[in-house]
A and B are shown apart, each in its own frame.
Chain A
Amino acid sequence: MRREHVLTTKELSRSDIEAVLDRAVDIARDPPDRSQYEDTILALLFFEPSTRTKMSFDTAMKRLGGTTVDLGPVGSSSVTKGESLADTVRVIEGYADGIVLRHPSEGAAKMASEFVDVPLINAGDGAGHHPTQTLLDLYTIRENVGFDDLSIGIMGDLKYGRTVHSLSHALTKLDARQHFISPESLRLPRSVRYDLHEAGANVREHTEIEDVLSSLDVLYVTRIQRERFHDENEYRKVAGQYHITPDLLEGADDDLIVMHPLPRVDEIAPDVDETAHAKYFQQAHNGVPVRMALLDLLLGGANK
């Protein structure tokens, strides 16, 4: 894999994906020599609050032997002085060897990438894409159930869920049946359905989890994002509609894994954590080796 930027999973081939996952396996077993990254600086530009994505990139860079710089709280940054994102990234590229960008606007990473020469990684652009989340999702899927003849249910907020959009695009590169489970009002957006159709993806849409649960290898649950709703009543209509419990999972295959990009609210009952189905914390932990692998492939290491 040799790319300038990582903006969406649409542009990643299966071999690109497998190159990152294979490198992550190697790195988890045998981390690269830290000395090769002692002069490497990664800029973390998070224009939206983030805990785990930002921390896992920070950890990944430091575990490789490099350092990070960041904007600090958005409220105290140049953004409040009215500086454009284009200007911000043009300044920061002079400081760092790579940029990780999270921004509330869709297309922000794509636009920012047009203004910089250092590698830029999209860490979430509004309701658009979140490709590195997908890479760690796929790492978790591969190590638990493999990629062959995969049947995956993706449930919750499919309309605004950027992790869902990135995952569904990536799954078109695999031999996967995708079952989308959501309230009618939170179905996949037109653009994603268009891409899945164009890719010839094997896709079904459902409103009830019980209709499909028994056929799944993976159940990928997402949070209904309250902050995306302009009308509280609309949120209440769909919030709590899906609630995964140990009783519900009695109807699933024994080997089913339950995943979630976290944070969760009430989509998954806490006592599911104690079952063998729960993989969401393992999934979160996988963020570090996967992001180490991606940084290694983009910033040096494997390319040096």
Chain B
Amino acid sequence: MTDHPTDNDRELRVSKIENGTVIDHVPGGQALKVLAILDIDGSTGETVSIGMNIPSEKLGRKDIVKVESRELSQNEVDVISLIAPDASINIIREFDVIEKSRVDRPATVTDVIACPNRNCITTQSEPVVSKFDVVDDGVRCIYCDTIVRDDLAEHIQTG
């Protein structure tokens, strides 16, 4: 028995889910951005549980996002990795974790981020999709060089 609660104990603050995905070790305060990446705004009926700014030995403060009845695409995982490089993705079935993986930052992301530079050729009526190189702590448009860091989630192309 320990006097101090562990990360597992703290996760119990957010209810367990039967089937779906748990995204853990999201930097504190970033959970709503994860929801934006997943295009979840509450209007489509998914059951979602969020824990925000939970004390964490690893991150100091972390967020947890639990989404019922949904498994993430590789594209969604790639984008989450950009704002939550230490995140883990847990696939839950019948209340058990059947698969646990760490996110891996891709070298490039294609057709998932809209370039915020209004003068970038990818924002014109041209037959080209956006493509960003992943750099230190953000992404960089391969066409116009614009670097996106802090407000990355705002430029995710959803739907």
Q: Find out whether the CB atom of A86 lies under 8 angstroms from the CB atom of B127.
A: yes
Chain A residues contacting B121 (CB-CB under 8 Å) are: 85, 103, 105-108, 110-111, 125
Q: Find out whether the CB atom of B126 lies under 8 angstroms from the CB atom of A106.
A: no
Chain A residues contacting B143 (CB-CB under 8 Å) are: 106-107, 110-111
Chain A residues contacting B88 (CB-CB under 8 Å) are: none
User: CB < 8 Å: which of A86, A189, A191 contacts B126?
Assistant: A86
A2 contacts B by Cβ under 8 Å:
no
A191 to B117: give the CA distance in the assembly, Å: 12
Interface 1/0 per residue, B115-140 and A, CB below 8 Å: 00101111011111000000100001
Within residues 13 to 32 of chain B, which ones have a CB less than 8 A from any CB in chain A? none
Chain A residues within CB distance 8 Å of chain B:
82, 84-86, 103-108, 110-111, 114, 125-128, 189-192, 194
A85 to B122: give the CA distance in the assembly, Å: 11
Q: Find out whether the CB atom of A106 lies under 8 angstroms from the CB atom of B119.
A: yes
Given the contacts A84-B125, A84-B127, A86-B126, A107 and B140 also touching, CB distance less than 8 Å: no
User: CB < 8 Å: which of B119, B125, B126 contacts A104?
Assistant: B119
Q: Find out whether the CB atom of B147 lies under 8 angstroms from the CB atom of A190.
A: yes
User: CB < 8 Å: which of B120, B140, B142 contacts A105?
Assistant: B120
Interface 1/0 per residue, B90-116 and A, CB below 8 Å: 000000000000000000000000000
Q: Which residue of B lies closest to A109 (CB)?
A: B121
B157 contacts A by Cβ under 8 Å:
no
Within residues 31 to 61 of chain B, which ones have a CB less than 8 A from any CB in chain A? none
Q: A84-B127, A86-B126, A106-B146 are in contact. List 17 more A-B contacts (CB 8 A).
A: A82-B125, A84-B126, A103-B121, A105-B121, A105-B124, A106-B117, A106-B145, A107-B141, A107-B143, A111-B121, A125-B121, A126-B119, A127-B119, A128-B145, A190-B147, A194-B135, A194-B140
B72 contacts A by Cβ under 8 Å:
no
Q: Find out whether the CB atom of B127 lies under 8 angstroms from the CB atom of A110.
A: no
What DSSP secondary structure best describes chain A's contact surface? mixed
Q: Which residue of A lies closest to B122 (CB)?
A: A107
Instruction: Tell me the smallest distance from the CB of A58 to a CB of chain B, in Å.
Output: 25
Q: Find out whether the CB atom of A106 lies under 8 angstroms from the CB atom of B120.
A: yes
Instruction: Tell me the smallest distance from the CB of A110 to a CB of chain B, in Å.
Output: 5
- Chosen A-B contacts, 13 in total, with CB atoms closer than 8 Å, are A105-B119, A105-B144, A106-B117, A106-B146, A110-B142, A110-B143, A111-B128, A114-B128, A125-B121, A126-B144, A128-B145, A189-B145, A194-B140
Q: Find out whether the CB atom of B120 lies under 8 angstroms from the CB atom of A107.
A: yes
A105 to B121: give the CA distance in the assembly, Å: 5
Instruction: Tell me the smallest distance from the CB of A125 to a CB of chain B, in Å.
Output: 8
Q: Which residue of A lies closest to B135 (CB)?
A: A194
A82 to B124: give the CA distance in the assembly, Å: 11
